[in-house]
């Protein structure tokens, strides 16, 4: 079962990565990449924002009425919102995350190209494309290993594919850099290589931290589960505390990788660290897509009234899928931070190469301080609008499910047919309407 789920998720992932490289013509590469990045960013906004509202609105609406009020099992076919809930897993957690990571992937390539162009070292402009192509091959090998592995623990199987891809990427990048002779200024030939290593290691560490804080095998989740004995209020407080604490190590790791990249290869090394983290995106995104596929498999098993042992298998896979989803979210946030640092670095280097003066970003500049304060506020405003949108969609779905339970004869007894299309339509319309303001 584990192999089937991962095969489906890996197909989606490798499709995304191939699109990135296929979208680059030989002429006007930088201009085409900028347009590609803008398109990926635009789609990422719609897929991530709209998909998130759709997913969580339908999920909350289905569970609040079905499990809490009606007392029926999760994914029960009598619940009209079940189909919307299962569709939402794909919309938000596969399409949304894929578009988000595609954006970061393209932006990291743009950053390396822009800095390489300002340095005027032709081999440095070739390097990101060689690494991106080799990264896809490493991901294919990692996915193949997962398919052939006979380990009993699904999480260990998925981790093995990631580690193999990362190791191959490290070895391959060494020979690629040696072949291209990517040296410039006072930095050594292997400077970009160490920056790539820093990026790859940071991605793996972020994934492991996500596993530690979200897997039922480890102390944080066990302590959180134990706190649930005192009621939901304590569990919510402890859960928020645990989530906040989990950000410590990833932020420190990203900061360290940035400094390492700069030390070994200057501004170009910062961009290469971002590309290094995203170089094995194929296998990491495939691992994350595992979660929604497992969740949908469990939903189909429940709706089809398959034997209880089938549901037990899908529940175990779904538990692993929740952990892989946490890995994917951490990876997406980390890669976005890296890509942003790379773009800021590329912007500064490009401006300095075009302008006669030296362009600097100083904390003594009031305009910079004002921008930082406003920028720090924007995520909270964005999150508030997003949460409000989810609440509105959930309210509409709850009202519709209640109406169908009340008006459709025999629905609760399993004799009537639920109008699932109506719930999907409500969630889709609500997502589109509530994403306009954010």
**Weakest mean pLDDT among 93-107, 219-233, 370-384:** 93-107
Residue 2 pLDDT class (50, 70, 90 cuts):
very low
State whether residue 28 is helix, strand or coil: coil
Q: How far is Cα 320 from Cα 317, in angstroms, rounded to an integer?
A: 5
164 has a pLDDT exceeding 80:
yes
Q: Alpha helix (H) ranges present in 23-96?
A: 29-45, 51-63, 82-90
Q: Which of 117, 144, 112, 153 is nearest to 129 (CA)?
A: 112
CB 164 within 8 A of CB 204: no
The DSSP code for 230 is G
Q: How far is Cα 409 from Cα 55, in angstroms, rounded to an integer?
A: 28
**Tally: H helices and E strands in the chain:** 15, 0
Mean pLDDT of 88-106: 76
171 has a pLDDT exceeding 90:
yes
CB 100 within 8 A of CB 56: no
Q: How far is Cα 32 from Cα 34, in angstroms, rounded to an integer?
A: 5
pTM of the model: 0.80
Q: Which of 226, 249, 250 is nearest to 238 (CA)?
A: 226
202 has a pLDDT exceeding 80:
yes
pLDDT per residue over 277-328, tens digit each? 888 887 877 777 777 777 777 777 777 777 877 777 877 777 777 777 777 7
Q: Which residues contact 100 (CB under 8 A, 6 or more apart)?
A: 44, 47, 48, 332, 336
Mean pLDDT of 217-222: 88
Q: Which of 75, 69, 72, 103 is nearest to 88 (CA)?
A: 75
The pLDDT of residue 5 = 46
């Amino acid at each position: 079962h584990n192999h089937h789920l991962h095969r489906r998720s890996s197909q989606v992932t490798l499709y995304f990565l191939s699109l990135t490289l296929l979208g680059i013509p030989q002429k006007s590469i930088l201009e085409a990449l900028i347009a590609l990045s803008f398109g990926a960013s635009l789609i990422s906004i719609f897929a991530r924002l709209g998909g998130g509202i759709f997913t969580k609105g339908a999920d909350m609406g289905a569970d609040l009425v079905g499990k809490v009020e009606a007392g029926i099992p999760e994914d029960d076919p009598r619940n009209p919102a079940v189909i919307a809930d299962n569709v939402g897993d794909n919309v938000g957690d596969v399409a949304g995350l894929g578009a988000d990571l595609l954006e970061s992937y393209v932006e990291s390539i743009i950053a390396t190209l822009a800095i390489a162009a300002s340095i005027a070292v032709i081999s440095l402009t070739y390097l990101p494309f060689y690494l991106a192509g080799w990264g896809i091959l490493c991901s294919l090998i990692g996915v193949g290993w997962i398919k052939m592995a006979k380990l009993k623990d699904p999480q260990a199987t998925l981790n093995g594919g990631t580690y193999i891809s990362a190791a191959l990427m490290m070895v391959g990048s060494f020979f690629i850099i040696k072949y291209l002779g990517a040296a410039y200024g006072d930095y050594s030939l292997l400077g970009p290589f160490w920056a790539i290593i820093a990026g790859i290691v940071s991605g793996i560490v972020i994934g492991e931290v996500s596993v530690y804080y979200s897997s039922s095998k480890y102390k944080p989740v066990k302590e959180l589960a134990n706190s649930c004995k005192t009621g939901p209020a304590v569990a919510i407080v402890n859960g928020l505390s645990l989530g906040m604490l989990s950000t410590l190590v990833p932020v420190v790791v990203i900061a360290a990788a940035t400094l390492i990249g700069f030390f070994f290869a200057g501004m170009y090394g910062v961009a290469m660290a971002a590309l290094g983290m995203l170089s094995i995106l194929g296998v990491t995104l495939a691992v994350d897509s595992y979660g929604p596929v497992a969740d949908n498999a469990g939903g189909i098993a429940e709706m089809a009234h398959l034997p209880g042992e089938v549901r037990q298998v899908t529940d175990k896979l779904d538990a692993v899928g929740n952990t892989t989803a946490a890995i994917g979210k951490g990876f997406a946030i980390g890669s976005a931070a890296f890509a942003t640092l790379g773009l800021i670095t590329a912007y500064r280097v490009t401006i300095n190469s075009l302008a006669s003066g030296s362009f600097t970003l100083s904390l003594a500049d009031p305009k910079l301080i004002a921008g930082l304060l406003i920028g720090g506020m924007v995520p909270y405003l964005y999150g508030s609008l997003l949460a409000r949108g989810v609440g509105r969609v959930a309210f509409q779905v709850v009202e519709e499910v209640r109406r169908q339970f009340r008006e459709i004869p025999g629905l609760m007894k399993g004799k009537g047919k639920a109008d699932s299309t109506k719930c999907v339509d409500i969630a889709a319309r609500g997502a589109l309407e509530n994403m306009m303001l954010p």
